[in-house]
Structure 1
Amino acid sequence: MATSPSSSAQQARQVLGSRLDEIRKHAGLSGPALAALCGWHKSKVSRIANAVTPPSEADIRAWAAHCGAEDQIPDLIASLRTVEGMWVEWRRQTHGGLRAIQAAFVSLYEKTRHMRTYSCWLLPGPVQIRPYAESIMRTVQLRDGLIDDVEAATDARLERQRYLYEGNHTYAFLIEESVLRCTVVDNDTMAAQLGHLLTIGGLPNVSLGIIPMSTNRTHWPCESFGIFDDQLVNVELVSTEVTIRQPREIALYDQRFKILSSQAKRGPDARKLITKALDALA
């Protein structure tokens, strides 16, 4: 199971083990007693609770059933799947280049009806113009010493954008004003990108919110993330990409999006902030 300097799958496994142990204690069962009911070796309950041995779905079903917690089985299994698949090392993921990563998201964008994206570093992928996207991926390719498939990767990223204009898809983009001021590309490209953002903000299926730098923050910025319907959250960190499918954690990101969204400017006020960033480039 992959680990990273910023976050650890082992820690996530420990959280799941602790939760299972709380269920056992609430049922009034000792570890050996639960193991006997499940037909396991007497030490297995302790190994799972202390994150020494990862449980299987069958283990979780048996554990919860014998503790009278059948109603928690779906959420526990979702937690297990999150532990198993949430941490993907960036290096391992990009081993074959950047195109495969970008292409892998096309089908997800196609089946997602409502996407919400919060961005604190870069403009979100669905609104990026080709020069902006290509420049960002070129930086990653050179920084990490990857094979040069930047042009193909850019094509794959732009392929997702067609769902802005076709099908029954809606988008909510929430962007920190500092992202508009962060010239990670040359000024001409950034100016064209901000102009494109103004156009995207006028689409009928798009909600665009800009959080001003001057806002008296009730909640500080967090990592950039995307919520795909209510099924999946994708979070990109420095060294890993996190995929979250656990309902309770998806709900936390949904809550954070709503809180941050309440601090955003929209409509003419959002356009003014984008226009000010454009004027600053000049």
Structure 2
Amino acid sequence: MTTQAQETLQALGARLRGFRKDAGYTSGRAFAHATAWHESKVSRIEHGKQRPSEDDIRTWCQITGQSDQIGDLIAIVRHVDELWLEWRRQLHTGAEKRQHQAIPVYARTKLFRIWHPTVIWGTLQTTEYAVKVFEQVVNYYEIPDDSEAAVAKRLERQHYLYQGDRIFNVLLGEQALYTNFGGPDVMKGQLDRLLAVMRLPRLSLGIVPRSAPAPIWPGNSFSLFDDKLALVETYSAELSVSQPREIELYAKAFSLLQQAAVYGTAVRDLVLTAIQHFDRMPPQ
């Protein structure tokens, strides 16, 4: 959970604690008895350690005579939900919708800072590579298979590489050149694509070599959109960060990773070495 989400839950808990005390329930135990909840649940909610459900909010406000606050507090709970979006919930109808949601973010962003330690960034993917990625997404999350539509939406973002005055600073870990999606032919096509796009005037492509001294641990992949939003991907959820001081931490991490990266001819050499690696592999 983000610091922003934690602070929001703590503030919500303090507000609910005030409601309890104003209603004459001087202890959490007395309030738990009135709600038929366990005393520990009351304590966790009041200290911001548990996100109350919308029904919890309704019960709390009704018992404390604060029914007029229900709508406001439910809006706060829903905002906390938006800060930590489970993939299963985002992808329950398939992967295309999530890919479509990214397009407005790309349209209004001027500076992109992208870090992917093990996978080629989506906007630089070939069709064949993206197909293999989404096949894994469908199988892993057990969602409806709309891979073809999801791939089309992902590739639609590529036109932003060629339009406007956007700047793309992309960092990949060297492992991203070797993580095998689809076998040698797919990988060689994807690596050829990297060689082509690295010549784009507004794209800076850096590779962090596997043996480079690490100024910071690699961590999860993340994408920074201007100084307004950071998206961080985990296996279970996508973390949305908009708190300025948290965004500053991701910007600092990106700068440190840049110190370990190589550019230009050195990137080309690493990509060509990876192509040679897949040349030696038997077809799949």
Measured against the shorter chain, the TM-score band is 0.7 to 0.9
Does residue 136 (structure 1) correspond to residue 133 (structure 2)? The answer is: yes
Match of 1:26 in 2: none
Cα distance in 1, alignment partners of residues 101 and 9 from structure 2: 31
Q: Which residue of 153, 163, 166 maps to 2:163?
A: 166
Note if contact 1:226-1:233 (Cα within 8 Å) is conserved in structure 2.
yes
TM-score (norm 2): 0.75
RMSD: 3.1
Letter in 2 for 1:262: Q
Structure 2: 5+ residue stretches without partners: 29-42, 53-75, 280-284
Q: Which residue of 186, 189, 200 maps to 2:186?
A: 189
Cα distance in 2, alignment partners of residues 52 and 253 from structure 1: 25
Does residue 106 (structure 1) correspond to residue 106 (structure 2)? The answer is: no
Distance change in 2, residues 1:14/1:168 (3 Å)? closer
Shift in Å at residue 144 of structure 1? 2.5
Identical-residue share of aligned pairs (%): 34
Cα distance in 1, alignment partners of residues 121 and 211 from structure 2: 22
Q: Deviations over 1:199-228 (max 9, x none)?
A: 111110001110001112232211000000
Match of 1:240 in 2: 237
Moved over 3 A (4+): 11-21, 39-44, 46-49, 52-55, 79-84
Match of 2:276 in 1: 279
Note if contact 2:110-2:167 (Cα within 8 Å) is conserved in structure 1.
yes
Return the index of the structure with the highest Cα Rg: 2
Cα distance in 2, alignment partners of residues 213 and 122 from structure 1: 14
Match of 1:59 in 2: none
**Aligned pairs for 1:20-99 within 5 A:** 50-51=47-48, 83-99=80-96
Q: Deviations over 1:123-162 (max 9, x none)?
A: 0011001100111101211233221211011000001110
Shift in Å at residue 83 of structure 1? 3.5
Q: Deviations over 1:20-79 (max 9, x none)?
A: 99xxxxxxxxx99x969xx966889x9776117879xxxxxxxxxxxxxxxxxxxxxxx9
SS of corresponding position for 2:260: coil
Letter in 2 for 1:167: G
Letter in 2 for 1:115: F
Cα distance in 2, alignment partners of residues 187 and 276 from structure 1: 13
TM-score (norm 1): 0.75
Structure 1: 5+ residue stretches without partners: 1-7, 22-30, 56-78
Q: Deviations over 1:147-186 (max 9, x none)?
A: 1211011000001110001122110100000110111221
Q: Which residue of 205, 211, 219 maps to 1:222?
A: 219
Note if contact 2:9-2:80 (Cα within 8 Å) is conserved in structure 1.
no
Match of 2:198 in 1: 201
Letter in 2 for 1:273: L
